[in-house]
Chains A and B, each alone.
Chain A
Amino acid sequence: MGLGSIASRALRSNTLRPGHTNLLRRSIVTTTELRNAEAAQAQPETPPPDLPPRTPVAGARVHFPNPEDAIEVFVDGYPVKIPKGMTVLQACEIAGVDIPRFCYHSRLSIAGNCRMCLVEVEKSPKPVASCAMPALPGMKIKTDTPLAKKAREGVMEFLLMNHPLDCPICDQGGECDLQDQSMAFGSDRGRFTETKRSVVDKNLGPLVKTVMTRCIQCTRCVRFATEIAGVQDLGMLGRGSGEEIGTYVEKLMTSELSGNVIDICPVGALTSKPFAFKARNWELKGTESIDVTDAVGSNIRIDSRGPEVMRVVPRLNEDINEEWISDKTRFFYDGLKRQRLNDPMIRGPDGRFKAVSWRDALAVVAEVIHQVKADEIVGVAGKLSDAESMMALKDFLNKMGSNNVLCEGNGPNPNADLRSGYIMNTSISGLENADVFLLVGTQPRVEAAMVNARIRKTVRATQAKVGYVGPATDLNYDHEHLGTGPQTLSEIAKGSHPFSSTLMNAKNPCIIVGAGIFERDDKDAIFSVVEAIAERAKAVRPDWNGMNVLLLNAAQAAALDLGLVPESDKGIESSKFIYLMGADDVNLEKIPEDAFVVYQGHHGDRSVYRANVILPASAFSEKEGTYVNTEGCAQTTVPAVPTVGDARDDWKIVRALSEVAGVILPYDSLSAIRSRMKTVAPNLVNVDEREPATFSYSLKPESQQKISTTPFKAAVENFYMTDPITRASKVMAQCSALLSKK
């Protein structure tokens, strides 16, 4: 021990008042006082006369399901009222004390194996692990005593014993729980002089990078995989110092939620493979935005550096995605850098595209659109279109005299009249109250992974029954495969199917119809059968609406809200002028040879091969756009990065084209187009609020259609590649090659 350290010790013992009551400040204390914890404890404790008011950690709120069950505990002398059954750790959170933890996670089961959350409880001989200890009435919890501090310091020292000192090359560096907590609660030195243990890295697939030596065996990832993702891929092997996390046998992690283990890992053992060594988290600019790869509208944060999207991480939204996102949402962002359209282009007589100015491109389009008859003009909005641009497109084509504006995925004759007929009426968080599910022609696991996670949560928590009608599929919870075609539905509706009695007896039955059915010819018939089932099971009541449609794409709900309904279902076949606004899943065979095709979009995907004129638009990460998710909640994206090349926002292109074509649209700004949207569908400007449907299906006229015997088809063939951005992504291509089930 050098002179310096002796001096610093002497100084510290002078400056630190032994019985200091400033509880809010969590100073980094080591050694001297702690070496004689008993002596420090023996000192008479002055009762804190007036404590400053404290706010719960992260705005935590207590919900008392039963007011009689409230108990009172004391945290550092503060009396707190909490419901019965809460743990000591939760009680401390409500009292405004953040207890350090590694293994505890509020959405996972309690493991209690990291011991970091030790606190002192009066009349208890040893410090207790607060995450696993239920709070009892009158318990006196002390979180800041020398004993608790010493316990934490000891745990920290053991954890750091085998943790490599590679923070400078670790991707978790800067957002690492272990780093932060060792700064706050750890000792300033370790006593360990042996060699550190090392663990062989595991290959978990193209998304999750593992550096298993860094693992502290908190088992959060194991619990996440088994409980939330519903795959039994990860587990714990070995005992004692030989303990490691692994996949038992050499195996990839095949879950559509596997990326979330990156977020829950408190250290750098599980990190993002595509993001590895790309950036440090403090260089990134976070933009709070919305995901558009499916109809759930997961809340995300787009982390960007300069003009580049570096990663996508989830944002907490209890009503939609909780704190998880699907792998597609998390890893498709590299598609935003590839195959981008950056200049307006016109296809020359030789069949090659030539870059032109906006002036020329718009002039050509405006000239051609005036040469065709009004009923030969068709507009198709794509999967990723925002509400603003769909509004502009519909207004523009209506002004041109055409009423053939449709949105991809909504089928030939969508029902836009009754909002309850195309949104999830139960709401995503409401699914947790259901006790029987009937999935009709939908595989939520690939269509909307977050909805599936919610169903799985319900099934796990309440043993809800799930019946599934559709092609054989792999749902990650117990379910009953009732049949493959619509005739099974008629049997349930008649009551001759064994599952119908399960539905009848259910308190809150929930029927989810997949949007893949929109494409079927007997759509109306199937819906009337499903409504008959709902009627029998009393699924639609004033206090419960269990009749749901699960949409596939981000644009669908807004398109139907805005009334993007084609006049005739043979519009595309007889058209001479087709305006594809990001529509890449249109059947290009159906477009006549002599039709003039304008493609407005951000990626050089399928439709570009057929296009005559390309108008480059901005992607969702570059513009402000309104999207409505499958439960009818309007949310807006926020531009995170600048547009690529000479691209423009979608609605601006349509607005500019309208002026060149001589039918000027009356809005010049985003607020102006939003007020136009408000006149059509007021729910679209009611951002971040779920707008439930007013009328139920009972107002619908009787359908005269007959159901066909064609079995239901899978709506999404490849989970990882559903839209132009994901198809351009290299990571998504790797995933579909390695992970999608054949």
Chain B
Amino acid sequence: MVRVEKVHKSYSSVQAVADLSFQAKPGEIFGLIGPNGAGKSTTIRMIMNIIAPDSGRILFDGKPLTEADKSRIGYLPEERGLYKKAKLGEVLEYLAVIKGAAKPDARASIDAWLARFDLLEWKNRKVSELSKGMAQKAQFVGAIAHNPSVVFFDEPFSGLDPLAQDQLLKVMTELKGKGATILFSTHIMEHAEKICERILLMHKGREVLSGTMAEIKTRYGRNAVQLEFDGDAGFIKHLDFVASVSEYPRWVEVELKDGVDSDLLYAALAGCLSIRRFETVAPSLHKIFITQIGGFAAGSGDGDVGGIPPAGDVSINSPTVEANNDQA
């Protein structure tokens, strides 16, 4: 269990993280999401004990984080880097032993993981010889080979082909099944939507919204329709009961105004378009992200970020006006 309580961190005059609180539970994938420079890296570094927060606490199983806890954490940073001139097996073993793993255990574990990711034959080759995708997978192995109980994956899928993405996803699900606490950071909402049980959306160092995926969808959703069709749908956004339309390459998502029944839309479309799919859905996380952060970027200072009204226990904080410098 990782618990972050009212954490602040600033660099000179720049507030990197402000009043951030959340907790990630064992057996759960927690998504820390937000645009670049939102303060994710600073948050991760504080959880890793690489830097100390100015105020607030970070608790591991109820106790303040210590240097020894580092051995229980696995970390896949967004910016990948392994010692290029060293052999892959040696680098991974080094990373595992400085995490406190015993050498024989580390070796066995590394061999097993490398085999699983089809990298075993590369074990005695230099890291510089690996392709980018292989290096990514190797680094993933480096993050989990010492059997950590808490794992932090920062943008784990970037640069990976779908096959490798699926492999990673499978492993993450397995780790979760074994009771590991998984923190997952990304700015690609489809990934977060696919695997996170709970998320915290941050922007400019502050929480914008947080909750379980179901909660968020409930609070922000229920009044959108996804459409797949043939024909020109340009007229939809001019319908007076439509709040907004998001166009995707193969479908559109239509946001209806409050209290409007989707039947009304269906009736309006009938005869004008050949509809292949008509599905009432919660808005995608992508949509929520764009609306929330977009509202911030537009600089509406009163917390009314438009688009999706907040409801229930899903909180929306006021946007901050400080310039952000994540030091990432």
Q: Say whether A and B bind each other.
A: no
